[in-house]
Chain A
Amino acid sequence: MPLLRIRNLSVDFATASGAFRAVDAVDQDIDTGEILAIVGESGSGKSVSMLALMGLLPWTATVTADEITFDDRDLLNMDRRARRRIVGNDLAMIFQEPMSSLNPCFTVGWQIKEALRYHLRLGRAERHARAIELFEQVGIPDPEKRLSAFPHQLSGGMNQRAMIAMAIACKPKLLIADEPTTALDVTIQAQILDLLADLRRETGMGLVLITHDMGVVAETAERVSVQYAGQKVEEQAVGDLFNTPHHPYTGALLDALPERATEKMLPTIPGVVPGQFDRPAGCLFSPRCKFADAKCKSTPPAPLGADLGHARCFYPLNANERVAS
């Protein structure tokens, strides 16, 4: 039994111009201690699918699923009270913008200790000791002093470390990191990714890393789920995905990596992720796919088998190599 099991998760937003499906029939499994990366361009529904899991979507969102099981508990049919005891405790999440994700009116120490009091009911002295320990764990120097700092007095990297400290305060079984490094400088990015990987090793928690950066995926992840326009289009172990991508979208993402470029110009994927009004009838990637034919444009493909990375494609790449090997 995996730590987290999601089946057929869909999210619809009620907008002024009608319903918009941001997440479409996504399946996901995460094991204890595993790092799963969810990749895809901006607008692929990566954040929304995980916010749905956390129960953090606004009321305009309708979440439907066949199953959401976390740690043997049914999150889907759980009341709000019971869910609050899990969220922020066993199931934690950090966000893209560390500067705006911390409350500007309270010290970072206060914000960390709040979680400790709320979920673990620690006393005052214990909270303080644990907060210092957490700051040391996430590599914040001079923790005693930093605990009494306000978010605007710390750098973006320090704030993200504080966010991570807050998220792991109650020793979660699963941490979801939604583009944790996107807003940070390149040098800081690597440090934060290392920190997350180290913490995963130390604590044995599962880690979901949402990113649009294939480079980050290569460095950190073990398994990769590629998401496009709300659908999961492919899933493979990280090595296999980089060697033998099956979905043309994955192939295009990999071709856009700087180290794979053969010419001076980086190849980019032409076009944009379809939105509410330009959703194609067939394969969602077909308007941008160089292999697409009439069938692709009219009929939505179903996911293929595990041997082809569950790719939603009629003409998967590298299919023969896989069959041959």
Chain B
Amino acid sequence: MLNYVLSRLLTFIPTFIGVTLISFGFIRALPGDPIVVMAGERGMTPERYAELSAQFGFDRPIFVQFWEYLTGVLQGDLGNSFVTKRPVWDEFFALFPATLELSFCAMIFSIALGIPAGVIAAVNRGKFFDRALMSTALVGYSMPIFWWALLLIIIFSGNLGWTPVSGRISLMYYFPNATGFMLIDSLASGQKGAFASAVQHLILPTIVLGTIPLAVIARQTRSAMLEVLGEDYIRTARAKGLTSGRINGIHALRNALIPVVTVIGLSVGTLLAGAILTETIFSWPGIGKWMVDSIFRRDYPVVQGGLLLIAVMVMVVNLTVDMLYGLINPKIRKR
């Protein structure tokens, strides 16, 4: 097991360098110039421009710039934001809890609904519920997030007035940001209604972000269940006189979960990508919104560093999922 983890960690190295290169190249490939953006509409004298350019190192050859960036990264230095001048590292970890909280809730939402839905669809294969569910999943999967978010906002915030449109909590409440997780902080603050407000703010973003993973998980669970339900050991379970609830929910689901866990792991990447859009729509102060804002400002260090940290995060999650996979699949565990 330890060997396995180490060999997996070794494969991180080329991926890591690749991601560094891509994130470095990506933002520079975009048209636009950070110094021009900074100057704004007032413009800037050529002398001042040259001075700033030298300060940021843009006057040196591109590969030298990359080398400096790479050596910095390897020493744990992601650079400072052009705009705020604060270290990228600090900004990222100040905002990351908000993204984590949203992604976590979206994941829980999609797993908690997706797995039971997939199981019920498989057990009722071809019947009304199955067909209805699978067409809904297809719609959910192919729906543009942006449009879906607007639709929910119009209905639940606009017409019904049930949910707020933006932010993480109502402005009425103020308490220290102890953990960065609003659900925990609001609860810890002891202020009446703070927690409820935090939950209300979370609902729509969670649904919007969780919709695609929900559809993917439901479909994967269904197809894995259908395959498992045809296996000999399910017949054995039925020959034991067990209830169908126990057969489907324990004997079949336990086996079907093996591919589902893989899909859940893979959807973490999708989720973080979706978070960027969702946070922008709901003004959710997480890394997604921070990244988008930085792209518009051509804040090179922030975009590079943010992409890199997200990529590392996804790699770590995938490794964790691989290990989880070994845990739930005894055939792999004992090898």
Please report A residues at the B interface, Cβ cutoff 8 Å.
54-56, 83-89, 92-93, 95, 97, 100-106, 114-115, 118-119, 150, 152-153, 163, 166
- Decide if A54 touches B239 in the complex (CB within 8 Å): yes
Q: 9 shortest A-B CB distances, which residue pairs?
A: A88-B241, A88-B240, A87-B241, A100-B232, A84-B241, A103-B233, A105-B254, A150-B330, A101-B232
Residues A89 and B241 in contact in the complex (CB < 8 Å), given A95-B236, A102-B233: yes
Please report B residues at the A interface, Cβ cutoff 8 Å.
231-233, 235-243, 251, 254-255, 328-331, 334
CB-defined A-B contacts under 8 Å, sample of 24: A88-B239, A88-B240, A88-B241, A89-B241, A97-B232, A101-B233, A101-B235, A102-B236, A103-B236, A103-B237, A103-B254, A104-B233, A104-B255, A104-B331, A105-B254, A105-B328, A106-B251, A106-B254, A114-B240, A118-B240, A118-B241, A119-B241, A150-B331, A163-B236
The residues of A that contact B240 with a CB separation of less than 8 Å are 87-88, 114-115, 118, 166
The residues of B that contact A87 with a CB separation of less than 8 Å are 238-241
The residues of B that contact A150 with a CB separation of less than 8 Å are 330-331, 334
- Decide if A100 touches B231 in the complex (CB within 8 Å): yes
Q: How far is the CA of A95 from the CA of B239 in the complex (A)?
A: 10
Least CB distance from B197 to A in Å reads 43
Least CB distance from A99 to B in Å reads 9
Least CB distance from A169 to B in Å reads 9
Task: Pick the residue among A86, A97, A101, A104 that contacts B241 (CB under 8 A).
Answer: A86
The residues of B that contact A104 with a CB separation of less than 8 Å are 233, 255, 330-331
The residues of A that contact B239 with a CB separation of less than 8 Å are 54, 56, 87-88, 92-93
- Decide if B330 touches A118 in the complex (CB within 8 Å): no
**Listed residue (A101, A103, A115, A153) with the most chain B CB atoms within 10 angstroms of its CB:** A103
The residues of A that contact B254 with a CB separation of less than 8 Å are 103, 105-106
Q: How far is the CA of A84 from the CA of B232 in the complex (A)?
A: 18
Task: Pick the residue among A86, A92, A105, A118 that contacts B329 (CB under 8 A).
Answer: A105
Q: How far is the CA of A100 from the CA of B227 in the complex (A)?
A: 14
- From B238, which residue of chain A is reached at the shortest CB distance? A56
Given A103-B237, A166-B236, 10 other A-B residues pairs in contact with their CB atoms under 8 A: A54-B239, A56-B235, A85-B241, A88-B241, A100-B233, A103-B233, A103-B254, A104-B233, A119-B241, A150-B330
Least CB distance from A67 to B in Å reads 22
Q: How far is the CA of A228 from the CA of B98 in the complex (A)?
A: 70
The residues of B that contact A92 with a CB separation of less than 8 Å are 239
The residues of A that contact B238 with a CB separation of less than 8 Å are 55-56, 87
Q: How far is the CA of A153 from the CA of B236 in the complex (A)?
A: 19
**Listed residue (A85, A114, A153) with the most chain B CB atoms within 10 angstroms of its CB:** A114
Q: How far is the CA of A119 from the CA of B238 in the complex (A)?
A: 13
**Listed residue (B231, B233, B251, B330) with the most chain A CB atoms within 10 angstroms of its CB:** B233
- Decide if B242 touches A95 in the complex (CB within 8 Å): no
Q: How far is the CA of A166 from the CA of B235 in the complex (A)?
A: 14
The residues of B that contact A55 with a CB separation of less than 8 Å are 238
- Decide if B236 touches A101 in the complex (CB within 8 Å): yes
The residues of B that contact A93 with a CB separation of less than 8 Å are 239
Q: How far is the CA of A152 from the CA of B332 in the complex (A)?
A: 11
Task: Pick the residue among B231, B232, B235, B334 that contacts A153 (CB under 8 A).
Answer: B334
Q: How far is the CA of A118 from the CA of B231 in the complex (A)?
A: 22
The residues of B that contact A95 with a CB separation of less than 8 Å are 232, 235-236
The residues of B that contact A106 with a CB separation of less than 8 Å are 251, 254
**Listed residue (A55, A83, A104) with the most chain B CB atoms within 10 angstroms of its CB:** A104
The residues of B that contact A163 with a CB separation of less than 8 Å are 236
The residues of B that contact A84 with a CB separation of less than 8 Å are 241-243
The residues of A that contact B331 with a CB separation of less than 8 Å are 104, 150, 152
Least CB distance from A126 to B in Å reads 18
Least CB distance from A55 to B in Å reads 8
The residues of A that contact B334 with a CB separation of less than 8 Å are 150, 153
- From B256, which residue of chain A is reached at the shortest CB distance? A105
Least CB distance from B244 to A in Å reads 9
Q: How far is the CA of A85 from the CA of B334 in the complex (A)?
A: 36
The residues of A that contact B251 with a CB separation of less than 8 Å are 103, 106
**Listed residue (A84, A87, A103, A105) with the most chain B CB atoms within 10 angstroms of its CB:** A105
- From A86, which residue of chain B is reached at the shortest CB distance? B241
Q: How far is the CA of A166 from the CA of B233 in the complex (A)?
A: 13
Q: How far is the CA of A100 from the CA of B241 in the complex (A)?
A: 18
Least CB distance from A171 to B in Å reads 14
Q: How far is the CA of A93 from the CA of B241 in the complex (A)?
A: 11
The residues of B that contact A83 with a CB separation of less than 8 Å are 241
Task: Pick the residue among B233, B242, B255, B330 that contacts A88 (CB under 8 A).
Answer: B242
Least CB distance from A82 to B in Å reads 10
Task: Pick the residue among B236, B243, B328, B330 that contacts A152 (CB under 8 A).
Answer: B330
